[in-house]
Amino acid sequence: MATELDIRPIKEWLPELNNPLLIAGPCSLETEEQAMDTARQLAKDPRVFGYRGGVWKPRTRPGSFEGIGSIGLEWLKMVKQETGLRVGTEVANAQHTEEALKAGLDILWIGARSTASPFVVQEIADVLKGTDATVMVKNPVNPDVQLWMGAFERLSRSGIKNMVGIHRGFTPFRETKYRNYPNWKTFIELRRLMPNLPVICDPSHIAGKREYLFEVAQKAFDMGMDGLMVESHRDPSCALSDAGQQLTPADLFKMLDKLVIRNVSVDNKQFENQLEVLRNRIDSLDTELLEILSSRMNIVREIGQYKKENNVTALQISRWTELMNKRVATGEKMELDPVFVKILFQLIHEDSVRMQTEIMDAE
C-alpha cells in the first residue's frame, strides 16, 4: 500500500532547477585548497547544482581516514559564498546534525549505515524538528525497503518536507563487478510505495570503479530517477578515500555530455496508443502466466498428498538440482537471462516445498 507523506516536489524548493538534480564533489574534504579548487572547477558547469563534501567519514575499520572534522564545515561555507553552489555533507549522529545546521549547510544526507539504525535516524530527526532542512536518505546497506521508508517517516514526523532518496546500492551477497549490488527492484518498490518521493542515484558507490560510472548513471536515468550524486575530486589519484570511484570535474562533464535523459511521459498520441496496445498484450500474457502457475500448484498439491501417503520428504535435492539445470538450459535456448530463470524457479520451488510441507503437517 502506497504511503503518502507530505513531501515537497523538488521544483517547489528548487524552482530555478531546469535539469536533473546533480550534486558533485569529493568523497572527503581533505584540505581547504582541495575543497575550493574542486568546487571552482565544478561550478563552471551550470548542470552542477550542489557541492557535496564528506566531513565525517564512517569507515568500516579504524585506521582509515575518517574525515577532516568540523573544520570542513567552514570550507563548505566558503565554497557556497564564492561559487553560489548549494553545499551539503553526511551527518551520522545528532552532534553532526547540530553542527551542520549551525553552519548553514543547504543539504544534509544520512548515510547507508545510519539509515540501517532507526535509533540513529530518530536522533537526527529530533535535532531537525522545527527546521526547513533539506534531507537526503541513502538506502540501508541491506535491501530492506521498509527500513528505508521508516527513515522518511521519522523525518516526516519531525516536520521535514524537503526529502530525497539516494539509491547507492547494497552490500553484495556474492561477487559482482560493482562495489555495491544495484538491486534496482528495491528502488522500484520504494517508488511504488512512496510515489511522491524524489529519488536520485549515487553511481559512485554502486560502481566502485570509474569505468562503470557511465553505465550505472545511464541506467538510473533509464529507470526515471530525478538526478545524480557523483563523487568528483580535482586529482582522484591523491584522494584519501574512495580514489578509484571519483572523477575529475572535466571527466564528469564528459560523462554528463554522453548521458541520455529520458522523459517520464511524452505528449504524443500515436506513441501513447501504441504503448497501450503493447501494455495490453503484457497484461494478457501475465494473466496466462498466473493461470499456468495456478495449474502447476494444483499438481504440486497432488504430489504433496502422494508423498505424505507414502512417507516421502517434501524436498528431494536430486530432483531440485535436475529441475534447475533443465530450466536454466531451456531458458537460455529461449534467450532468457539464466540468472533471471534461476531466481524465478527458486521462488517457485521454495513455495512448492512450503505447500507440500503444509500438506504433510495437516492432520
What is the per-residue pLDDT for 62?
72
Q: What number of H helices and E strands is found in the chain?
A: 14, 8
Of 239, 258, 277, the one marking the end of a domain is 258
Q: Check whether residue 284 and residue 241 sit in a common domain.
A: no
Polymer length of the chain: 363
In a domain, residue 264? The reply is: no
- CB environment 20-40: b (16+ within 10 A), e (fewer): bbbbbbbbbbbeeebbbebbe
What is the per-residue pLDDT for 60?
64
Q: Which of 257, 200, 259, 260 is nearest to 230 (CA)?
A: 200
Which CATH number belongs to the domain containing residue 63 in this structure? 3.20.20.70
The pLDDT tens digits of the residues spanning 143-200 come to 999 999 999 999 999 999 999 999 999 998 777 899 999 999 999 999 999 999 999 9
Alpha helices in 55-144 (DSSP H): 71-83, 94-102, 112-115, 118-128
What is the per-residue pLDDT for 319?
87
Q: Check whether residue 100 and residue 160 sit in a common domain.
A: yes
190 within 8 A of 145, measured Cβ to Cβ: yes
Q: What's the structural domain count of the chain? A: 2
Q: Check whether residue 357 and residue 216 sit in a common domain.
A: no
Q: Check whether residue 227 and residue 288 sit in a common domain.
A: no
Which CATH number belongs to the domain containing residue 288 in this structure? 1.20.59.10
In a domain, residue 290? The reply is: yes
| Enclosing domain of residue 75 | 10-258
Q: Check whether residue 86 and residue 221 sit in a common domain.
A: yes
Specify which residues 200 forms β-bridges with.
166
Q: Check whether residue 92 and residue 181 sit in a common domain.
A: yes
Q: Check whether residue 315 and residue 278 sit in a common domain.
A: yes
What is the per-residue pLDDT for 83?
98
Q: Check whether residue 250 and residue 322 sit in a common domain.
A: no
Rg over alpha carbons for the chain, rounded to the nearest Å, is 24
Q: How far is CA 309 from CA 246, 251, 297, in A?
A: 63, 68, 18
Supply the DSSP symbol for 4: -
Q: Check whether residue 182 and residue 302 sit in a common domain.
A: no
In a domain, residue 5? The reply is: no
Q: Check whether residue 153 and residue 175 sit in a common domain.
A: yes
Of 190, 225, 258, the one marking the end of a domain is 258
Q: Which of 116, 112, 122 is nearest to 90 (CA)?
A: 112
Q: Check whether residue 102 and residue 241 sit in a common domain.
A: yes
Q: Is the entire prediction scored with pTM above 0.85?
A: no
Q: Check whether residue 156 and residue 76 sit in a common domain.
A: yes
What is the per-residue pLDDT for 33?
97
What is the per-residue pLDDT for 332?
94
Kindly give the confidence (pLDDT) of every residue in the chain, 363 residues in length, as a single tens digit, with 9 standing for 90 and above. Answer: 667 799 999 999 998 888 899 999 999 999 999 999 999 999 999 999 999 999 987 766 676 777 799 999 999 999 999 999 999 999 999 999 999 999 999 999 999 999 999 999 999 999 999 999 999 999 999 999 999 999 999 999 999 999 999 999 999 877 789 999 999 999 999 999 999 999 999 999 999 999 999 999 999 999 999 999 999 999 999 999 899 999 999 999 999 999 998 776 667 778 778 888 888 889 889 999 999 999 999 999 999 999 988 998 888 888 889 989 999 999 999 999 999 999 999 999 999 999 999 998 887
The pLDDT tens digits of the residues spanning 287-334 come to 999 999 999 999 999 999 999 889 988 888 888 899 899 999 999 999
Of 258, 283, 315, the one marking the end of a domain is 258
